Structure 1
Amino acid sequence: MTDLAVSHDRLRPLMFSIAYRMLGSVSEAEDVVQEAFLRMHRSASADRPPIDSPEAYATTVTTRLAIDALRSVRRRREQYVGPWLPEPLLAVDDDPAGRAEAAETLSTAFLVVLETLSPVERAVFLLREVFGYGYDEIAAVVQRSEANCRQLLVRAKRHIDERRPRFEPSPERREALGRRFMAAVQDRDVDELERMLAEDVAFYGDGGGRTAAARKPITGALQVARFLANLGRMGERIGAVLEPVTVNGQPGIRVSAPGGIIGVLSLTIADGHVRGVHNVINPEKLRHLGPVGDLNALLQGK
């Protein structure tokens, strides 16, 4: 079991990657990982046979805890004020599932789609499609038969394929469009923004009832362009500073103001256009990123 202690740093990225994709919350994922390590060390100190594969054991414990955690937060999210968005991750470079297609499953837009799955469906989908586990391994983790796991995966994939967002395959083009987008917001350039937005673009704002935010998605290129230009004007008034960042593997913007960070905006880009804009301004979802500014006070001129 000394090996498990030594491999703590090696196992943690995998465990967090599973937990975060399951929960869409940095704080809840950290809690799951911490509890998983506690259980693993308790098992190590007990009079039990040594663990053959720390990685497999870590995956099992983390996934089961994440399934339980997701079940408990489902009711709370159903009562959430306005659109629920995952807590943003900035500049994710060490994700164990490093393939481009796996990185897409870390995106804000995709995590929102995963919310439509049941906890066990979500676990089966992620373990198979993102982390590449075999059906026999998945069956042992979720405590279902292999046949049932195959059925769960088929159902999950069918559900996801109906809603799956498209992504621009070229990182360079994504980054270039993201910087153009930020400049247009800063310049309040409605025409330029409208050119960059897909006709069916949707803007989602997550204030969680704690900060003023649109409680329903805003759709359509012109409507979203005008809304973004208004955000640019508001940002100038309160002294906001916009910085290009990578959010959940996709282009985004960190918005800071006196007092700290006040928002993180992420883009879904495909076919040379911005197809989705997700803006997290709920302060509870930004605390893991550093000091958080009081947007309400700033808007009131306090």
Structure 2
Amino acid sequence: MEEPEPTGAGAVECYRGVLFGVAYRLVGTAHDAENVVQESFSRWNRLDPDERALIVSPRSWLLRVVSRVCLDHRRSAGFQRRTSVGDWLPEPLPDRRGDPLCDITLDESVSIALVILLEEVTPTARAIVILHDVFGLSFTDIGEIVGCSPAACRHLAVVARRHVRPETGSS
């Protein structure tokens, strides 16, 4: 049986760890991920009580907002202008041992190698693979987040995975 989602003022704060985990994997820096999470909470807090009452799952709503903000960030001109010499590496997470929110994020971690390889695919494909493979969202839910059909999401995931794990030909 699934546990009911928390309600009341500040209830969405319990999702900070998972939201940070999604944002970090999509934008690549802890600073940008924190900004994305703060923006999602700001959007939640700007909703009037009637709008908030219509939201069946605050967690799903927040995941959708975080994912969309991350995609917008990665597609932005400022992000596109960033250049680096050599291979890109994700920023290491600050040491927060004992912080339960960080423990959740680390428990759901994805390997550094996968994050690096996913840098080579489009922001949308990266979001689809991370949301599906790491956070277990359905292609239907992901399609609503990224603005694609579930079939298109499935196809982009296959293409991205193929890029991450290239098939080796037999000799």
TM-score of the superposed pair, with normalisation by structure 1: 0.47
Structure 2 residues not aligned, in runs of 5+: 1-5, 97-101
Candidates 75, 92, 95, aligned match of 2:80: 75
Q: Report what 1:56 is aligned to.
A: 60
The answer to whether residue 38 in structure 2 is matched with residue 29 in structure 1 is: no
- Offset at residue 74 of structure 1 (A): 4.2
Runs of 4+ in 1 over 3 A off after TM superposition: 90-93
Aligned residues: 155
RMSD: 2.3
The answer to whether residue 151 in structure 2 is matched with residue 147 in structure 1 is: yes
Paired residue type of 1:32: V
TM-score of the superposed pair, with normalisation by structure 2: 0.80
- CA gap 1:97/1:84 in 2 versus in 1, 3 angstroms: closer
Q: Report what 1:183 is aligned to.
A: none
The answer to whether residue 17 in structure 2 is matched with residue 13 in structure 1 is: yes
Secondary structure of the structure 1 residue equivalent to 2:9: helix
In structure 2, distance between residues paired with 1:68 and 1:139: 16
Q: Report what 1:95 is aligned to.
A: 104
Secondary structure of the structure 1 residue equivalent to 2:85: coil
Q: Report what 2:99 is aligned to.
A: none
**Structure having the higher Rg:** 1
The answer to whether residue 69 in structure 2 is matched with residue 65 in structure 1 is: yes
In structure 1, distance between residues paired with 2:113 and 2:26: 14
- Offset at residue 139 of structure 1 (A): 1.1
In structure 2, distance between residues paired with 1:4 and 1:120: 33
In structure 1, distance between residues paired with 2:9 and 2:87: 40
Deviations 1:194-234 (A, max 9, x none): xxxxxxxxxxxxxxxxxxxxxxxxxxxxxxxxxxxxxxxxx
In structure 2, distance between residues paired with 1:30 and 1:4: 23
Higher RCO (CA 8 Å, separation ≥ 6 residues): 2
- Offset at residue 81 of structure 1 (A): 3.4
Paired residue type of 1:161: R
Q: Which has the higher strand share?
A: 1
- CA gap 1:30/1:116 in 2 versus in 1, 3 angstroms: same
- CA gap 1:23/1:159 in 2 versus in 1, 3 angstroms: same
Structure 1 residues not aligned, in runs of 5+: 164-302
- CA gap 1:53/1:97 in 2 versus in 1, 3 angstroms: farther
- CA gap 1:136/1:59 in 2 versus in 1, 3 angstroms: same
Paired residue type of 1:75: Q
- CA gap 1:121/1:20 in 2 versus in 1, 3 angstroms: same
Paired residues of 1:19 and 1:62 also in contact (CA < 8 A): yes
- Offset at residue 42 of structure 1 (A): 1.1
Secondary structure of the structure 1 residue equivalent to 2:121: coil
The percentage of counterpart residues that share the same residue type is 37
The answer to whether residue 47 in structure 2 is matched with residue 38 in structure 1 is: no
Paired residues of 1:97 and 1:130 also in contact (CA < 8 A): no
Deviations 1:71-129 (A, max 9, x none): 1254223x22343321111446513473xxx53x2x43332111111111011101110
Paired residue type of 1:59: L
Q: Which has the higher helix share?
A: 2
Paired residues of 2:20 and 2:105 also in contact (CA < 8 A): no
The answer to whether residue 55 in structure 2 is matched with residue 84 in structure 1 is: no
